[in-house]
Amino acid sequence: MKCTIHANKQFVRGTVDPRLFGSFVEQLGRAVYGGVYEVDHPASDEEGFRTDVMDLVRQLDVPVVRFPGGNYVSNFNWEDSIGPKENRPTRLDLAWKALDPNQFGLQEFMHWAKKVGTEPMMVFNLGTRGLAEAKELVEYCNHPGGSYLSDLRKSHGSEDPFDIKLWGLGNEMDGPWQVGHKTAEEYGRLASEVGKAIKLFDPSLELVACGSSNSNMPTFPKWEETVLDHTYEVVDYLSLHMYFRNDEKDIATFLACSASMDAFIETVVHVCDYVKAKKRSKKTMYLCFDEWNVWFHSHDKDKQQTPWIVGPSLLEDVYTFEDALVVGCLLNSLLRHCDRVKIACIAQLVNTIAPIMTETGGDAWKQTIYWPLNYASKYGRGEILECRVEVASYENKQYGTIPYADTLMVHHPETGEIDLFVVNRHQSESLALNLDLTGFGPDYHVFEQVVLQHADLYAVNDKDNPDEVKPSVVAFTDKNTSALQVAPLSWNLLRFH
Ligand code: AHR
């Protein structure tokens, strides 16, 4: 099948904010205990951080990590997680019916973030708590000293402020499952008052208001409108969450699901711009897609989980090759909307619906979805080009007309290189790529093709076969790009200079 791509370097959709490749560590399952933190593990450092996990995180080059939740945060007392570890209380985490020993708290997270080279995105509890606790948390974290809470931080060993720039105003507050769930009016009022207080402390701090938990929520998109009516001038981003599943084992539909991510983003952008117009505002609202991923493999197992233990094996989706293709399409969708989506966090980072999996006391390895994420993080930071793509499409009952090729082109003006991400959704035909690179000069040619492909859609990586699904790299020595082929059901990165 022919696929022709016309690109012109003048036609730039937007420049990618590196925070699009962010992630999320929630106090959930083995994300923390047995994941990033395991005091007795032979590979752990003096602070109990697993160095094997840190290495895999560093390779992903994750610019921002959201913490500590998620649903967990709506019942979290930040004060429980500071000071000498032996004095910290064990609490009941109502969201996940687990025991929370508070051994990996605020300070530990900040140390870990520094070690892996990431910035924190800290989320306030706006479920069981409110303005007072939020402003006190910011004082503890960011004030240099001379006040009660900043001096308390110093007494805990952190002389310098944590200087956390990005803050989430609660989590999924539209969801009836949320501890302290609120109506849009209630949440909008609270978020705006918390936001106002935080910006009185430091107007340069960036705030994310909760949008809908997904686009099927009965309150979507009215929720966005009401929340923004209250918060438009005080917040910097509105959040989106979306998870994808394939219970029916219907690959054509599953591969098309990025169309619903596109539609969700575009609808939220319209609501933001509508509120902007109503308010006659000069400010543009940006989006923070702070939870996205495939999530369904572990649903049945999770129903059998023993409650009230530390670090239960929850949400441990073992990802297939098919999931990696979908994650590739979802990354293309986020990148395509880089003019408005500035931050995104794959949910999550370790063990819990995550690209990195560990065995408690044992190895750490890369899940299949690690690979598209890894390459997008490395080569997706640049200018996203508006391309015209000519390729056949198919009709899907759920998502409509879907092109067989999901393509995304990134230009790096500083090196002149171009990176092209392509997922071939066709189940039996290769794509014969024909590139029309107007304005790039006549000599542009491909020098490398990275391919993620497997004969079995359900192939997985596990501790015995950690490299079952991994990319292969083909180097091109001559300049003939006319024969570029993209195999059926494959994810690809083609690099040009
Ligand atoms: O990421 C897992 C959970 O999904 C989060 O805790 C919650 O915000 C969402 O529903």
Query: How many other β-carbons are positioned within 10 Å of the β-carbon of residue 283?
Result: 12
Question: Is the pLDDT assigned to residue 109 strictly greater than 80?
Answer: yes
List the catalytic residues.
172, 291
93 CB near ligand 1 (under 6 Å): no
Per the DSSP assignment, residues forming a β-bridge with 288 are 239, 343
CA distance 51 to 41: 10
Please say whether the structural domain 2-9+385-496 has been given the CATH code 1.10.10.10. no
Of 460, 472, 470, the C-alpha closest to 322 is 460
pLDDT (tens digit per residue) in 301-338: 999 999 999 999 999 999 999 999 999 999 999 999 99
Question: Is the pLDDT assigned to residue 480 strictly greater than 70?
Answer: no
Mean pLDDT value of segment 480-484: 69
Q: Which residue's alpha carbon is nearest to atom 4 within ligand 1?
A: 70
Contact 7, 437 (CB under 8 A): yes
In percent, the amount of the chain with pLDDT more than 90 equals 97
Question: Is the pLDDT assigned to residue 482 strictly greater than 70?
Answer: no
Best residue among 23, 24, 26, 243 to mutate for probing ligand 1's pocket (most ligand atoms within 8 Å of CB) is: 26
Task: Enter the pTM of the model.
Answer: 0.97
CA distance 117 to 297: 31
Domain boundaries, the chain: 2-9+385-496, 17-381
Amino acid at position 236, single letter: D
Instruction: State the residue for tokens 């392509």.
Output: 422
Mean pLDDT value of segment 51-67: 98
The pair of structure tokens assigned to 272 is 């933001």
CA distance 459 to 319: 8
Domain 17-381: assigned CATH number: 3.20.20.80
Planar angle of CA 463, 321, 261, nearest 5 degrees: 125
pLDDT (tens digit per residue) in 63-74: 999 999 999 999
Best residue among 215, 217, 291, 353 to mutate for probing ligand 1's pocket (most ligand atoms within 8 Å of CB) is: 291
User: What secondary structure does DSSP assign to 274-302, as a single string?
Assistant: HHHHHTT--PPPEEEEEEEEE--TTHHHH
What is the pLDDT of the chain when averaged over all its residues?
97
Mean pLDDT value of segment 379-395: 98
Contact 9, 440 (CB under 8 A): yes
